[in-house]
Structure 1
Amino acid sequence: MSGIGKVAVIGAGVMGAGIAAQVANAGVPVVLLDIVKEGAASRSAIAEGAVAALLKADPAPFMSRAAAKLVATGNIEDDLGLLADCDWIVEAVVERLDVKQALYRKIEGVRKAGSVVSSNTSTIPLASLISGLPETFARDFCITHFFNPPRYMRLLEVVKGELTRPEAIALVSRFADAALGKSVITPKDRPGFIANRLGVFWIQCAVIEAIEQGLEVEEADAVIGKPMGIPKTGVFGLIDLVGLDLMPHVMDSMIGLLPPEDPLHAIHRPQPLIERMIADGYTGRKGKGGFYRLNRAGGGKVKEAISLVTGEYRPQRKADLEALATTRGDLKALLAHPDPAGRYALRVLGQTLAYAAALVPEAADDVAAVDEAMRLGYNWKWGPFELIDQLGAPWLAEHLAAEGLPVPPLLTLAGDRKFYRIEAGRRQYLGTDGAYHDLVRPEGVLLLADLKLDRQPVLKNGSAALWDIGDGVACFEFTSKMNALDPDTMALLGKSIKTVAKQFKALVIYNEGSNFSAGANLGLAIFAANIAAWTEIEQLVAAGQETYRALKYAPFPVVGAPSGLALGGGCEILLHCDAVQAHAETYVGLVECGVGLVPAWGGCKEMLSRWSAPGRLPKGPMPAVAKVFETVSTATVAKSAAEAKELLFLRPSDGITMNRYRLLADAKAKALELARDYTPPEPVDLTLPGESGKVGMQMAAEGFHRRGIATTHDLVVAGALATVLSGNGADVTKPVTEEEVLEVERAQFMRLIRYPATLARIESILETGKPLRN
């Protein structure tokens, strides 16, 4: 796999252990070493304890418990010999140059020739790290800066030195891309590289401006959040997440490394409030609280925020800002608004975008690298230069000058041009030479967004589209909000099946939204139920069943390519595909019971079929039925594609793609492979346990009810699910057809949708996003 068959990580702290876990998630053996803990029963207690902690952590660093078995633990006194057959050795120890260099000398004595050694540092220059070390070591050395948590953060900054072999950088980059799922950028060896250099400036600027302008934390986070495409944590919520005590260390490090003329110096000053909070143990979520806290005094749970004005905690309140209310998401209007919130937005974003422009080419070769760094390293929706394009470079330059701030040369170079443009169906960026250059994707990357630049959809309506992605393969894309499935989705899917049968070899179901599909559009369901449009609801259920069956038995192969949430109907469409190529971070589940319903687009029959396969479970109808009942009644959601395989939401033969950018290309390749000699599947009859099995499942549910685990309405829903899975009184000696199971699914769904308790659950999900326990 990309030339790397075994990896070592030295340093079993949060980052080192997380890196080791992600290597194991890729199916690659990894050695995790740390120092010997004095007085511990085991000399490798630190590394062993780190793996144990990883298995308990939430969100989980491991994609499956099986991955943990690929991590071998040890210590650097007894087990350095384990590095001898490692292709890549990652150092993630304390940020002290003397400690790192002493370790490197030990590594040099045991590693094999040509193995790559890298440091996870972002605060010590690469030239300092290799100073005084042999040239043989320097040629194989680089910096690989991961972001925390390593499983979920997709950015990796790879920094080379003057002596680093190009082959070493290529080896690590290929592996990080394809196996670890990282988007690799190659910043220059400058303090903080790209993401943290800009991120630290942005955070410091936002904090200083909020304090000095008298804003409260809720107001600052409301401004520096959704309007700018920044996660809802804003700035102060983000600081709470990473830890207040980390801020002074990072700032001191950056200030010590950057030249006096760097703009970070101009916004660096003591922050007595933060110093006091740290001293009092208010270090964020890992401490007693931070800028936000949950006050449990007197047995209560009161959400509080600290006042930046008084320095005292008070009940948290909603930000009520005229600037946000009147500008309604118009970023330029927000920055031009005269009230304090508008001025705050302009001061923070203006200085941040100016700083980003000053980093090219000083820290990054091009604007695309900076944008990718902030999108994937800080979860910004738009990179800095994409934001500048929204505002216009001349507009930003004018407002910077009005604020007495310097205008970076790159803004002057751009003039009235955008940093990104579409030319002849190609996405291009503006270079520092003043010319536009094609944005070149790595080999094996195929994005639907790029394909759309030079073509029109084959079919399209308000909820979905069908695209020609080349080589005889079509792509069906959900386009509704949260990619929820509605009558228009089903109508276009049905039409697409007929079109693909005539014009294409295969079909891929894929989209580039944050989530594959959150399931059926519950808003439409609750509206129809409130006006007693039962016939229309049943028609939608029947249409979904018929369309999914047509998909399953189509005369061409169908490959599902999910990423993110694939719930309810989104899960059911995957169950009807010939194969699935899933992004590693795919979260699949039949969650209908949580809203008082049962799966009714064939999910029950498909799960029964999978668990009933020969050799899967002990013989007889009940083991498979009991397993499906357990999974579906509890609305279990797989927390990774690997876990989805264990639950049989995915087949053992289904593929997993680690890098989100490579998902469509991998799915297309799988579809073409299946198309070579494709034959549609044959219908499978099921052997179901009938009334005795139904009673057994109901008794299990009643046991949970007596223990207080299941609610009263849970019993009703469980009874309906038991009716479906048992075959509604089926004769255990007589096979049950797919059509018969679908009929029972539909009938039980229609029975449950009429319950007020079910409607209350649906309303709760729509209004709060949380399930109602009634």
Structure 2
Amino acid sequence: MVGQNPANGIQKVCVIGSGTMGAGIAAQVANAGVPVLLLDIVPKDGNDRDAIAKGAVAKMLKTDPAPFMSKKAAKLVETGNIEDHLDKAGECDWIVEAIVERLDIKQALYEKLEAVKKPGAAVSSNTSTIPLGHLVEGRSDQFKRDFLITHFFNPPRYMRLLEIVAGPQTDADLVAKVEAFADRAMGKRVIRTHDTPGFIANRLGTYWLAVAINAAMDLGVTVEEADQIGGAPMGVPKTGIFGLVDLVGVDLMPLLSKSLADTLPKGDPYFDTIRPMPLVEKMIADGFTGRKGKGGFYKLDKGKDGSRTKMALDLATGEYRPENKPGKLPSGADRDLAKLVTLPGKTGAYAWAILGPVLSYAAMLVGEAADDIVAIDDAMKLGYNWKFGPFELIDRLGPGQLSARLTAEGKPVPAFLKAAGDQPFYRVENGKRQYLTADGSYRDVQRAAGVVLLEDIKRGAEPLLKNGSAALWDVGDGVVALEFTSKMNAFDEDIIKLIQQAIPLVKANYKALVIYNEGSNFSAGANLGLALFAVNIAAWSEIEKLIAGGQAAFKALKYAPFPVVAAPAGLALGGGCEICLNADAIQAHAETYIGLVECGVGLVPGWGGNGEMLDRAARAKMMPKGPMPPLAKVFQTVSTATVAKSAAEAREQLFLRESDGITMNRDRLLADAKAKALALVDGYAPPEPPVFKLAGASGRTGLNMAVRDFQKKGMATAYDGVVSDRLAQVLTGGDADVVDVVTEDQLLKLERKLFLESMKDARTQARVETMLTTGKPLRN
């Protein structure tokens, strides 16, 4: 958790309703370091009147992926029940209602809340089906001023979209206060929507899924073909169409359909998608509700020998059969939508059957569900994880071509789409991204106040330095950003070379450097594919050169005459972790998954990670004094290839120091990292090199005994023992005695020696090859 309230005005939150959504909202508030009161009804039986809310917290502590960023965050959740503890809601600055979607029950709750809440405290509903005006019927003017809708997406920790709806009487300052808290404390990208059924994301997303499922059945497209055609080429996550339905729950689709059908105006195109679905009804009745049930459109069959076979549902017969992955799409069709929709046969027909209606429907929603196309695009990218929003897809397809084909087929063309003609919905002018408005003019895309994104900077600037794997950018205020651009942002010689080139440039002309990028992952570590290639041609000198070069580059950053701040987000593994450890400070996104994972592929960390972790552990306030406690902590973390599952966990595991920062909103990471770097500039001096008093041979014996015990219990393999012994040699100083002082350079030399020894071992090579080909560890 952040450990302090990063937003103004909201010091405590109450969430009423501890179902999956309500409990998840409460957890995310706690993740921000803010106290939260979680209330639910009194159970019909049992002695504990708070059992339902307590049970929700207990369940979240066992859930994977975890709603809590740290188990410590759960301590900020106070549980209770509505009958006994509703008065405690009066202590809260924001009350979130997340109870059953029934108007009468919600209104009854609001009547009780009105008697206990303090004036000016926000009350919001998580509904996406009931109009705001209906919710506040019969309430006082004060209550109406304090009321809004805050529609979170599940799971609230991981889904960044929050749709906010304000009523005609809602206080604008109150909305701004809630928005600021949701943005900065909860990490949400807030989108203001109109009070229309389903708002933006669920209205368009539900329509999209209904269209895609119907079209697959009508055109004889298999679930595998549908997920291929309607997946990656359209920027849909790898689940595709049917895989996504399995993920969210097959049984959720009829519920969403009914809620929209009950509230949408007559004549809405959504009604054209509604038809009897006996196959889906049977799936739900038989418990095939997706991943949470026995299976869905896909399922896994387990053989008697422990093998697993992925099965897919035949849409025509309703029977399962082994998955049949379709062949590759014709060249270019996976990237060119215009080509995809014109392919002969059912491939092109299915692509058009999705894109034609869905993109047309999106154009209808401008002015109705949202003010502009940016809100609609962002809602779908954040709420459904689309890579491209619908208007970005229209630009890829061609606005004029879309209108022409709709017209040729006798289908209506929305006025906004027709007015656009051949104009793109987005363009870049003078380095600024602009969007087309309803009046035909272009306006700059506006970011929230304080947000700085590298993608915006890059539109109007040239890099200071650049090669095939990295670039250096001026991000303003005397700060430059080092960006990785290789596949998975993996380290190679080009990145190491650019680091060495960047240091004198920054020293001469700038104040500080931030290591940052906007990829899905900060860095997956060293490029193991290149390393394995070098092994196969016995180019040992090249491997040694890569290790020595990485060490030199990272230490050059560490001892540079200016502050260096690492700003990781997503995976920061192996070398990606080590470059962070060598920085003066870390400003991590809350969803940073960081760790030294080299032992998992038979290696030892080779770019200074061992020494940096030992130094952190020795300085940690929580660590008992003496050489063994820090050593044992680092050995356990590194030998087991532990990866922190959040920045909060990373702090507990010592990858982050107490002084390092955590940013909840991904959009604010660069600005926060810049601010941290600039705060270090005045009076900056590079750190003094550490000296280590390590445990020597006797300490190594203790570590190895622990590993042998794990092996006896079947918790570690034979080769795990070998790898752990190599790690123990590094962490205990090799041949050093317990009274000897080991320098940083000596430790780095030992790292290089044992990394190379590991790389020459055929068992390590097998682990690396398995990881590269399957993405899974080999337990040899």
What TM-score comes out, normalization by structure 2 length? 0.98
The Cα offsets for residues 388-427 of structure 1, whole Å up to 9 and x where unpaired, read as 1111100111222233321111111111111111111211
In structure 1, distance between residues paired with 2:331 and 2:424: 29
Shift of 1:719: 0.9
Shift of 1:254: 0.5
1:95 equivalent in alignment to 2:101: yes
**1:186 matched residue in structure 2:** 192
**2:561 matched residue in structure 1:** 555
Residues 763 and 557 of structure 1: CA distance in aligned 2, closer, same or farther (over 3 Å)? same
Match of 1:454 among 437, 457, 460: 460
**1:27 matched residue in structure 2:** 33
Letter in 1 for 2:363: A
Q: Give yes or no for contact 1:331–1:391 (8 Å, CA) kept in 2.
A: yes
Unaligned runs of 5+ in 1: none
Any idea what SS the aligned residue of 1:520 has? coil
- Of 103-112 and 277-286, more deviation after overlay is shown by 277-286
The Cα offsets for residues 516-547 of structure 1, whole Å up to 9 and x where unpaired, read as 00000111001001000000000000000111
In structure 1, distance between residues paired with 2:632 and 2:502: 36
1:742 equivalent in alignment to 2:748: yes
In structure 2, distance between residues paired with 1:460 and 1:150: 38
**1:596 matched residue in structure 2:** 602
Any idea what SS the aligned residue of 1:157 has? strand
Match of 1:698 among 704, 722, 733: 704
Any idea what SS the aligned residue of 2:508 has? helix
Shift of 1:614: 6.5
Match of 1:314 among 311, 316, 321: 321
**2:3 matched residue in structure 1:** none
Q: Give yes or no for contact 2:217–2:315 (8 Å, CA) kept in 1.
A: yes
Any idea what SS the aligned residue of 1:739 has? helix
Q: How does 1:397-476 map to 2 (within 5 A)?
A: 397-476=403-482
Any idea what SS the aligned residue of 2:190 has? strand
Q: How does 1:502-651 map to 2 (within 5 A)?
A: 502-613=508-619, 615-651=621-657
1:43 equivalent in alignment to 2:49: yes
Letter in 1 for 2:382: L
Q: How does 1:124-523 map to 2 (within 5 A)?
A: 124-296=130-302, 298=304, 300=306, 301-320=308-327, 323-324=329-330, 327-523=333-529
The Cα offsets for residues 116-173 of structure 1, whole Å up to 9 and x where unpaired, read as 0000000111111111222211111000000000000000000011111111111110
Any idea what SS the aligned residue of 1:475 has? strand
Q: Give yes or no for contact 1:223–1:324 (8 Å, CA) kept in 2.
A: no
Shift of 1:331: 2.1
Shift of 1:325: 5.6
In structure 1, distance between residues paired with 2:163 and 2:8: 18
Q: How does 1:684-723 map to 2 (within 5 A)?
A: 684-723=690-729
In structure 1, distance between residues paired with 2:546 and 2:672: 32
Q: Give yes or no for contact 2:430–2:460 (8 Å, CA) kept in 1.
A: yes
Letter in 2 for 1:312: E
The Cα offsets for residues 485-532 of structure 1, whole Å up to 9 and x where unpaired, read as 000000000110111111111000000000000000111001001000
The Cα offsets for residues 316-365 of structure 1, whole Å up to 9 and x where unpaired, read as 121236x4566343222111111201110111112111111110011110
Any idea what SS the aligned residue of 2:391 has? helix
In structure 2, distance between residues paired with 1:108 and 1:254: 29
1:768 equivalent in alignment to 2:777: no
In structure 2, distance between residues paired with 1:324 and 1:285: 31
Any idea what SS the aligned residue of 2:361 has? helix
**2:77 matched residue in structure 1:** 71
In structure 1, distance between residues paired with 2:574 and 2:406: 49
Any idea what SS the aligned residue of 2:312 has? strand
Any idea what SS the aligned residue of 2:433 has? strand
In structure 2, distance between residues paired with 1:128 and 1:724: 67
Residues 614 and 224 of structure 1: CA distance in aligned 2, closer, same or farther (over 3 Å)? closer
Shift of 1:618: 2.0
Q: Give yes or no for contact 2:151–2:162 (8 Å, CA) kept in 1.
A: yes
Residues 45 and 486 of structure 1: CA distance in aligned 2, closer, same or farther (over 3 Å)? same
Letter in 1 for 2:100: V
The Cα offsets for residues 153-194 of structure 1, whole Å up to 9 and x where unpaired, read as 000000011111111111110110011000000110000000
Shift of 1:611: 0.6
What TM-score comes out, normalization by structure 1 length? 0.99
Letter in 1 for 2:234: M
Any idea what SS the aligned residue of 1:259 has? coil
Shift of 1:224: 1.2
Q: Give yes or no for contact 2:14–2:38 (8 Å, CA) kept in 1.
A: yes
- Of 125-134 and 65-74, more deviation after overlay is shown by 125-134
1:110 equivalent in alignment to 2:116: yes
Any idea what SS the aligned residue of 2:427 has? strand
In structure 2, distance between residues paired with 1:352 and 1:752: 54
Shift of 1:41: 2.3
Q: Give yes or no for contact 1:118–1:144 (8 Å, CA) kept in 2.
A: yes
1:17 equivalent in alignment to 2:4: no
Shift of 1:280: 1.1
In structure 2, distance between residues paired with 1:508 and 1:719: 36
Q: Give yes or no for contact 2:232–2:334 (8 Å, CA) kept in 1.
A: no
The Cα offsets for residues 187-235 of structure 1, whole Å up to 9 and x where unpaired, read as 1000000000100000000000001111111111111111111101111
Q: Give yes or no for contact 2:338–2:398 (8 Å, CA) kept in 1.
A: no
Shift of 1:616: 4.1
Unaligned runs of 5+ in 2: 1-6
In structure 2, distance between residues paired with 1:508 and 1:169: 34
The Cα offsets for residues 621-656 of structure 1, whole Å up to 9 and x where unpaired, read as 111111111000000000000100001101111000
Aligned residues: 773
In structure 2, distance between residues paired with 1:154 and 1:531: 46
Letter in 1 for 2:597: V
Any idea what SS the aligned residue of 2:83 has? coil
Letter in 2 for 1:402: A
In structure 2, distance between residues paired with 1:515 and 1:348: 30
Letter in 2 for 1:581: Q
Percent identity over the alignment?
A: 62
Q: Give yes or no for contact 1:219–1:320 (8 Å, CA) kept in 2.
A: no
**1:753 matched residue in structure 2:** 759
Q: Give yes or no for contact 1:483–1:518 (8 Å, CA) kept in 2.
A: yes
Q: Give yes or no for contact 1:215–1:309 (8 Å, CA) kept in 2.
A: no
In structure 2, distance between residues paired with 1:402 and 1:326: 25
